[in-house]
Structure 1
Amino acid sequence: MRAGEARLAIDCGSASTTAVVAWPDGRWLPLMFDGEPALPSAVLLSGDGNVLTGHQAWQGAATDPQRFIPAPRQSPEQQLTVADVAVDPLDLVAATLRRVAGEAQRVVGSVVEDVRLVVPAGWGPRRRTWMRHAAHRAGLPQPRLIEAPVAVAGHLVAAGVQLPVGSFIVVCDVGAGAEVSVLRRGPAGFEVLATLADPAAGGTAIDEALAATLDEGSPADGDGQRWALLASVGVAKQALADRVAVTVPLPQGSAVVLNTGLLEQAAHPVLHRVAQLTTETIAAAEINATDLAGVYCVGGVARMPLLEKALTETASVTPTLVPDPATVAVRGAADAGAADAAAVGPPVEVPVPPVRRAVAIAVPGLASLALIWQYFLTAEYNNGSRILRGYHYWVLLNWGELAMAAVLALLACLAAGTVLGSLIAVHSPTSEIRSEGGKVSVGILAAVSLGVAVAGLYAVVASQYFRLPMGGFLRWALWPITPIVLMAVAVAVVAARQWRAPHGGWSALLTVPTGSVITATAGMLLIQYSLTAARRPHLVLWIDIAGRIGGLLLGVGVVMALVTPLVFRLILATPLALIAAAIVSWQASGILAVFYAIAVAVWWAARLWTRIVRPATPTPSRQAQVAMPAVDPPPRGGG
């Protein structure tokens, strides 16, 4: 067996780093560091400029805490200062990776050319590029980046778990923090449908809570003693997996007894948050718990029985603990079949929208066609006709109807944004576009482009059809949709840069209330009928009533777009509908259409703010799904 055939897989986590070396014949070997399979990710920058890694860093933390960095895997934008000296976090992560590379070379006998790095599924292009730079600085070959839940799913299939094509699974990864992902198996790989992360829902938070409990009676004096206490708590927590109670030495020289009761008390709120995160992720993937083929728990905290209880009671799912949960992701990345499939990217299949989503796409599209059809059909020609124009030829047009047709065409395209994204990803060679965040972002931008193109097409065709200058048509077709376009582009930027999946999923976010579309469209159709119908004496009253009803309906449609609670709708609908009904006329039809366009833009802005920027119930996963831990992790507690 040539050494060059070996594969090196590394999972560089916030709290600890694991790595395995594997060969094509199925043999694999975990790399050992100081006699253990997990290397603490912490580093210590010594005064002479050397970087100590692993347990050596934790040992030095007690005497030199100012130079200790427990979690060097920082955000690319974050600045790091050690002992008043600016430090590049890339150098610190590279030190850990360099030690892993050296151990792999010692085991294999030569440099390993095939390297795979496990990364969180929620990481965007910037963090992935940052990790590649760290590997390059460590002297590693160009690595393949494999998403952690995809690696876990690939390992499950390789281990014989029956997951048929088209099935959905949840990977609940609870290490230093928590990341929950919903995956769907395609014909040649797994696709991440939704992923949510919370850095405060893992082993780090549990260790901090335990340390705070044990430290009440005899508080630690200084950062050095705090790091020593966290190290002891991390070791004790692991030992409680096989014991009822363990003795924890305190930095002051005394000792306390830590039992399973205290551990469960500290872990309960943390693991309850993991269960909530699981429920939110399933909802974001737009499936139900009954659709799942399995829920699989991995990570250093997965062994805790309380996690299974929390998931069963809160998320209403029955989890399965994967054997050797702390290393399953890195083993999956090292697996030949799983890694190769992940490296080239799973095939992206275009989803078939369910009936509810199909209706949300079809209703504004058909409404737009109905309005533009009536717009052409009911135009009133003066001083000639469309073909034989006389002197001072002009046409009486309902500009508001053109504006609403353009708005509804854009809304129909945006409702199909996730489908458009999947269609583009099928033919894209770029792996970033094949990610869920990339698909959503590209899909929204494609929908905006298509919607603007349709609105422009309406204007161009109308100008040519009526043989009039194009300027007025373009103004009424494009200006009303401009605020909506800006809001949609803002959503696309959020999806691309930080991948914040809103509650209910992206398809729900991109869909304007169907009731508002139907009501406003019916109102404008009735208004145009009342303005253009032949006013025979016995029909005048009914034609006028139809126009007032149209104004009422259009006002109600505006309110339905602005607010959701029924009470607020009732309060606002009465005055606004009456005003709209009172001003129905040729001149006011354009104003009413602009009101509706503004209402839709406000609806988009409110959704962007309440569901993405500032969710109604703020959670760490929604605020920053791939944020680094806010507290410093212990050496082995996070897994």
Structure 2
Amino acid sequence: MPSGGTRLSIDLTSSAIAATVDRDGTRIPVLLNGRIVMPHGIVIDPAGQLHPGVNGLPEPSVGHQFIRDPVDLLHAADAEPPVDAVQLLAGQLWYIADQAVRQVAVPVAALTVTIPSAWGPRRRGHLTDAAARAGLPAPAMVTAPAALAAYATAGHVPDGTCLLICDAERRPITLTVLQASLDGYQELATRQVSPSRDLDRDLAQHLLTRSIADDPPQRTEKEATPEPADAALLESIRQARTALSTQARAPVLLPSPRPPAVLTRDDVTAAAQPLLDDAANAVQGILDAADIGQQHLSGVIHREARAIPGLQERLVAVTGHTPIALDGHSHALADGALALTAAHQQTTSTANDTALPRVRLRVRDLTSAIILGVCSLTVLLQTILTADIVTTYSVQVVGVRLSLPQLGVAGALTMLTAFAVAHLAPTTWLAGTTDAATSRPTTGHLIRRGYLAAAVGGSTAAALYGLATGTAVQFGYEPYLKWTLGSALPLAVCAAIIAATAPRIAAPQLSYWLARTRPAALPAAIATTGICLMRAAITLTPPVDLTGMPGLIGSAGAALLGIATALTTSRSRTTRTITVPGLAIGYAIVFTSDTSSALLVGYLVALTWWAVQLAAYTLRLAYPGTGQALRRLAGSSHTA
């Protein structure tokens, strides 16, 4: 799969739509509006808005149009039907993808769609157009029989052997012969079993005829004629057939004024006999059409939503193989299609062989870097200018009192400035115009150079901050270097990790990674303002005391520092809503000249945590299977 990407698989061939996402090797069924599967139907309201996932209109409504299944309209999409079938399918795909993204919180990087085997270039092209309109990647298409085979066998089929797929989940029953190959499955033959025969309608006709026979002799001629089975009666029979899997009898509601009838297993068995005979003949016919015999079959796979009594036994009698039954596996096709397309989608290009579109560097692109650089210099200058220098005979400096944690913040902000500059490297030109004739460096190369330069340049600038402080106060360099360089080094290590691993990120994920790596200048500006106010409150003579604390200015500064700390440590809106007021009030209450250093250290920890989270996010995208492997290893160790 694409490194760090989410693969979405959608099954459009079953009686209800099912979708599965593969995130870092973990398969997750997508809940579609709170349901495990979703109906194919779409309602178009008078405003033209699409409402996917409905069974029909609850009551007649003027201006509303119900489409039972947009996929059924694709065969006529070129003939200008009353509705745009491609647009309907695009709305359906967009809705499913939106539900998946809401559930896993990661954009879709690759799309797989299960389609009927009869689809050729025309309808496959319509599906590709629909995915493009929905803003999704071009879909990899897997036929339903191949997806069933991949799910049932997990890929353990010898090359060259054949499988018989009997899909009775939707009417009519479809038989397909597949031959396994290194590239997947090749379809040798396919055949439908009695397309005109419907078991539910046969049962409905049988129950209506039996109900008429039980009526009094005075019944009218109109009542004596069985009426066609309507939708409500067919749905009642489907429910009864499902109930017969656990009980011998089930009620069926007949059209008024007839009383309810009772459906038994014997009724279903009797009605299924003609269908079973047709199925046995169709199996033998499809084996002949595929030019294989029973000895060439390695297995039979059978799927049905409602049991057809005797069907599995007929398959055993004709093929000599006991079928692998997939009853009740709603996501079988979606999962099987994911397994088949995994190898293909693993070849997705990465940043190492991708060149993102680039633009000439503008002043507004440097806004974050400029703001962060100004904040860093402001914190450094205030630390030096407010230092209390103790001298002897106005010549020799014997002691200096300044805020070492504030000096550390200046060093960390220097590294943050380097991150902001490195963020520009993959997408901007420093000067001049692009030349299409010359080969452009890949995005991975630019990321590597940019973040390595950030690690070295930011550390060097932090060391210069320490040396500049020692020179300004004329009292050695060691303590100041420890704080400026020590605060910057963890961020520099994270930048080096990013430089080494980010080039492996899949190309579809680069835009999201770039959005995540942009340093937020606003929290840093808020923190700088708060730090300056805190330091001013401590160094003012006499101190401002309007609140019973070291001063209103200091309390306001501490509150701003708390806000910046909360904004830096979390990206979640909910978490920020809770922590921002809590830390702001807490910092303002506890602020004194003795606690200011602890509050500054807390902000330093927040900056380090931001860099660690960014490095971890980069590692997850570059090596998506590592986290899953570690969890499995931890689980096995715990079990042992």
Q: TM-score, normalised to structure 2's length? A: 0.45
Q: Greater relative contact order (Cα 8 A, min sep 6): structure 1 or 2?
A: 1
